Chains A and B, each alone.
Chain A
């Protein structure tokens, strides 16, 4: 049963990550390749607070979201100056820079050795969460809160402005909306939620190293988003379900691990090609990436 719970916890983390990516990619039409960088920043900053200070979880989560959100301004600044492919390349650059820092700043991050023994989250500063059951409940609650908030944002006037920016940025500007401000807010919220996912992950597995936050991971999150669909809440959720559950289903086919791993990549690739060809808005998406 613990195995199933572990899958659900990871699923909850990836739902948060794909939803966070949806805000910038799916709604504001900003194709970013650095979601894993924010995920990693959140994990490392959260680890720092958990290991150095005995703070209650809500405070740690708020700090992590704030700091990770602040890092997003580096990328949103680039979005003002760079358009289309150039912006995508800049976000890849940001992803690589973050990875390189995490890997090489060994005094702080311990580089490739990673950081073991990350303490559990302390609820209200008293109860330390340990074990798969506690994280199951916590991740479920946070995932539900994030889904609710993002659904609310998608349906709100804020979501409408982001959708409009995706459709026609110039016209939105001529209607008196400050595009830079809206993009920055979208990035901030997106990065903050990815950071939240990062701290849950770090605390749950109690060990992090830079290999969990690579460009591959960003592409993985992006794949989940495009398979599930963009522009609403249900698409990203379905995408996360697909990419997290698929490898687990392959376990029951009885293939050797080495074959299953390769097969998983092939299936992801095929799924992406088929979805892009037959349903470019994703399985449950609302709109098409421009």
Chain B
């Protein structure tokens, strides 16, 4: 197992000062090298669970174990450095920065990011920048093929790309780091069918070519059936069912309570 969630619990207080338990003891084992889909209704705590795993939410109880290491309450930026990448629900490229700058930022190599070293050793970081540029081209070629259009758009401001393009480029950006587990929060949300197919290819590439483990939240059940090896159904604060995707999605209780069928 690459990731284990043990008895994760979290409560929130609403505007009326009433406490409610969102997660009531989530237990989940995420298998290495597989694509696991986390499904469940709106407001069931899927994104909160992602926030807990990636260190953005601290007020929980339970254990998060990644590659055998318990990293409860480690700051978010350090969790990322330990090998967990994330695509946010509304995650886009960063506007005001070029596509190249967006991609470079996702690199593990932080040479020149400290002001004093960047002033004192310009040759060192300029050399590292060249390496990163090569890596960016290599990642984009691997994902979108030889001579793809994005290789000629590296200096374009990220905000000038369409929503769908930003989504697929944000996914490609995740391959710049040395992550071993990727958390994808609704990767197909708001994306047209043409880009959904590309997203599917990218996620398969992540698993098959890169050997990465993917945990994704998704409401598009057709998409989940196509890409996910394993599916976990979150309902009423617990993982109510987990297993092979088809088995979970065809389960009578899941179909009844989540899909309304």
Please report A residues at the B interface, Cβ cutoff 8 Å.
149, 152-153, 156-158, 160-161, 163-164, 166-168, 170-179, 185, 189, 231, 286-288
Does B62 lie at the interface of the complex (its beta carbon under 8 Å from any beta carbon of A)?
no
How far is the CB of B122 from the nearest CB of chain A, in Å? 7
Does B15 lie at the interface of the complex (its beta carbon under 8 Å from any beta carbon of A)?
no
B115 touches A158 (CB 8 A): yes
Does B131 lie at the interface of the complex (its beta carbon under 8 Å from any beta carbon of A)?
no
A-B contact pairs, 5 of them (CB 8 A): A153-B119, A156-B125, A158-B114, A167-B95, A176-B110
Chain A residue numbers with a CB within 8 Å of B88 are 170-171, 174
Interface size class of B (residues with CB under 8 A): 35 or more
How far is the CB of B161 from the nearest CB of chain A, in Å? 14
Does B221 lie at the interface of the complex (its beta carbon under 8 Å from any beta carbon of A)?
no
Chain B residue numbers with a CB within 8 Å of A178 are 75, 77
Chain A residue numbers with a CB within 8 Å of B56 are 170, 173-174
A173 touches B129 (CB 8 A): no
Which one of A174, A177, A189, A287 lies within 8 Å of B54 (CB-CB)? A174
How far is the CB of A163 from the nearest CB of chain B, in Å? 6
B97 touches A185 (CB 8 A): no
Q: Which of B89-105 contact A (CB under 8 A)?
A: 91-92, 94-97, 101, 104-105
A157 touches B113 (CB 8 A): yes
B112 touches A156 (CB 8 A): yes
Please give me the residue from chain B that is nearest to A29 by CB atom. Answer: B96
B77 touches A157 (CB 8 A): no
CA distance A161 to B56 in the complex (A): 19
Chain A interface, >50% SS class: helix
B81 touches A152 (CB 8 A): no
How far is the CB of B154 from the nearest CB of chain A, in Å? 14
Which one of A157, A166, A175, A179 lies within 8 Å of B96 (CB-CB)? A166
Convert B99-134 into 0s and 1s, putting 1 for each residue whose CB lies closer than 8 angstroms to a CB of A. Answer: 001001110101111110011001001001100000
CA distance A5 to B195 in the complex (A): 61
CB-based closest 4 A-B pairs: A167-B94, A176-B80, A157-B112, A156-B118
Which one of A161, A231, A286 lies within 8 Å of B113 (CB-CB)? A161
How far is the CB of B129 from the nearest CB of chain A, in Å? 7
Indicate whether A158 sits within 8 Å of B112 (C-beta atoms), given known contacts A152-B122, A287-B96: yes
Chain B residue numbers with a CB within 8 Å of A156 are 112, 115, 118-119, 122, 125
CA distance A287 to B56 in the complex (A): 28
Does B198 lie at the interface of the complex (its beta carbon under 8 Å from any beta carbon of A)?
no
B80 touches A152 (CB 8 A): no
Does B76 lie at the interface of the complex (its beta carbon under 8 Å from any beta carbon of A)?
yes
A163 touches B101 (CB 8 A): yes
How far is the CB of B25 from the nearest CB of chain A, in Å? 26
Chain B residue numbers with a CB within 8 Å of A179 are 77
Query: Can you add 11 more A-B contacts, CB < 8 Å, to A171-B88, A171-B94, A286-B96?
Result: A149-B119, A157-B111, A158-B115, A160-B97, A160-B101, A160-B113, A163-B96, A166-B96, A167-B94, A174-B77, A177-B105
Does B177 lie at the interface of the complex (its beta carbon under 8 Å from any beta carbon of A)?
yes
Chain B residue numbers with a CB within 8 Å of A153 are 115, 118-119
CA distance A161 to B118 in the complex (A): 12
How far is the CB of A285 from the nearest CB of chain B, in Å? 11
A171 touches B177 (CB 8 A): no
A174 touches B86 (CB 8 A): yes
Please give me the residue from chain A that is nearest to B106 by CB atom. Answer: A175
Does B164 lie at the interface of the complex (its beta carbon under 8 Å from any beta carbon of A)?
no
Indicate whether A157 sits within 8 Å of B110 (C-beta atoms), given known contacts A164-B105, A174-B88, A177-B77: yes
